[in-house]
Amino acid sequence: MNALFYVAVAMFGGLLMTRLTRLVHLPNVTAYLLAGVLIGPYVFNLVGNESLEGMSVITECALGFIAFSIGDEFKLKNLKAIGKTALTITALESLLAVVCTMSITMLLGFEPVVCIMLGALSASTAPAATLLIVRQYKAQGPLTNMLLPVVAADDATGLIAYSICVSIAKGIVNHDAFSFTGTVLMPLLQIAEALALGAILGIILAVLHKYFRSHTNRMSLCIAFVMIGVAIADYLGVSNLLLCMALGAFYVNIFNDHERILGCIDDWTYPLFLLFFVISGAELNLTTLPKVGLIGIVYIFARFGGKFLGAWIGGTITKQPKVVKNNLGWALMPQAGVAIGMATLVLKQLPPEYSQVIQTVILSATLIYEIAGPLAAKMALQRAGEIHAN
């Protein structure tokens, strides 16, 4: 059957599932993941493994646009408003999530490679889920003001943690001797290379906008540059997530009319993200679930515990009011797009005996986080007295 048929099946399945999950007020990303599980090779097999392999270009493209959209959160005016307080809290809650997840899983005797990568993946959150709650309930106040910049910066720290940890994991798998240059310095140089390339592409993109006046042409330019960024990153072996994030950050800080263009791109990428999550769900190897049951539970609680503790310590150090330090950790529970994207990258960078377990844990945890996370964020804002709409 033509590959387009399976793309249509994936898209149609995701849309149908949203009709069901809407009845119990679950987010769309959960519906897409569930639809993928059902149509994938391990349940009804409507889309088999060979067809999923043919959709890899969709996954790579979606990852680029996810990272590009994160770059939009790094406008200079926003960075100035964040200040040292939010950066301190972000660093602590991200770091403790990584440390808690990694150390607890290792103490329980799980495979070191899996523990390292789960620790790295624990840092990121889901800005989209958090923003949706804030906008839906028109939340305003000190907790909301701190929450928004923290969730935006979270994904950047998560991408950096992933880049370093995947290099360490590769060294363990290949039985390479520890080398500061190879394990720490080279990943940092690759991070710098990805950010520099993204910055160059972002500057060029903003300059080219002067020669294209219509919104459709400018939108097409942005789409082309994100795809170019993904291709360059794959060719050079650097992080396409970091590259595209830098591309987006420099673009929004140079081009003044970016918000209108990004609005058009958001409409264009909606079906792409739908397919990305459905494909991610279809790749969930259900045969590994019995093997990762315990580590999945440990990951869920260790990650949240680290984030809650880090947010509380950060809020205490920076002398934040109780409504911030006691509730911020609860609002950082959601995890979705970027974590799934990085888990998908693991499939290419580590052997299947490790990567499939890691991806299964992350996708399974995402299903739970996407149900409990928004509810936890809403409850945190309610306790802080910052919800002003039903």
Fill in the amino acid letter for 91.
A
* 90/95 Cα distance (integer angstroms): 8
Residue 272 lies in a domain: yes
Average pLDDT, the chain: 86
Residue 58 lies in a domain: yes
Q: Phi and psi for 326 in degrees, rounded to 5? A: -85, -15
pLDDT of residue 178: 65
Q: What confidence category does residue 27 fall into, taking pLDDT thresholds of 50, 70 and 90?
A: confident
* 77/266 Cα distance (integer angstroms): 22
Q: What confidence category does residue 293 fall into, taking pLDDT thresholds of 50, 70 and 90?
A: confident
Residue 252 lies in a domain: yes
* 112/101 Cα distance (integer angstroms): 12
Residue 388 lies in a domain: no
Considering its fold, how many domains does the chain have in total?
1
Residue predicted with more confidence, 103 or 135: 103
- When mean pLDDT is compared across 294-303, 321-330, 369-378, the lowest value belongs to 369-378
Average pLDDT over residues 43-62: 87
Q: What confidence category does residue 80 fall into, taking pLDDT thresholds of 50, 70 and 90?
A: confident
Q: Which of 80, 71, 79, 76 is CA-nearest to residue 202?
A: 71
Residue 49 lies in a domain: yes
pLDDT one-digit tens code per residue, 55-76? 888 888 988 888 888 777 678 8
The answer to whether 389 touches 136, Cβ cutoff 8 Å, is yes
Residue predicted with more confidence, 133 or 195: 195
pLDDT-above-90 percentage for the chain: 32
pLDDT of residue 82: 63
Q: What distance, in Å, lies between the first and last C-alpha atoms of the chain?
A: 48
Q: Phi and psi for 47 in degrees, rounded to 5? A: -125, 110
Q: What confidence category does residue 349 fall into, taking pLDDT thresholds of 50, 70 and 90?
A: confident
Residue 389 lies in a domain: no
Would the CA dihedral through 84, 191, 160, 368 be positive or negative? positive
Highest mean pLDDT among 105-119, 175-189, 341-355: 105-119
* 64/265 Cα distance (integer angstroms): 13
Quick one: CA torsion of 207, 211, 215, 217, rounded to 10 degrees? -100
Average pLDDT over residues 256-281: 83
What range does the domain containing 37 cover?
3-383
Say whether pTM exceeds 0.75: yes
Residue 118 lies in a domain: yes
CATH number of the domain that 61 lies in? 1.20.1530.20
pLDDT of residue 114: 93
Contacts of 101 (CB under 8 A, 6+ apart): 115, 118, 119, 122, 299, 302, 303, 306
Residue 97 lies in a domain: yes
Give how far Cα 380 sits from Cα of 102, 122, 126, 351, Å. Answer: 27, 20, 16, 40
DSSP string, 245-279: HHHHHHHHHH-TTHHHHHHHHHHHHHHHHHHHHHH
Q: What confidence category does residue 314 fall into, taking pLDDT thresholds of 50, 70 and 90?
A: very high
Q: What confidence category does residue 339 fall into, taking pLDDT thresholds of 50, 70 and 90?
A: confident
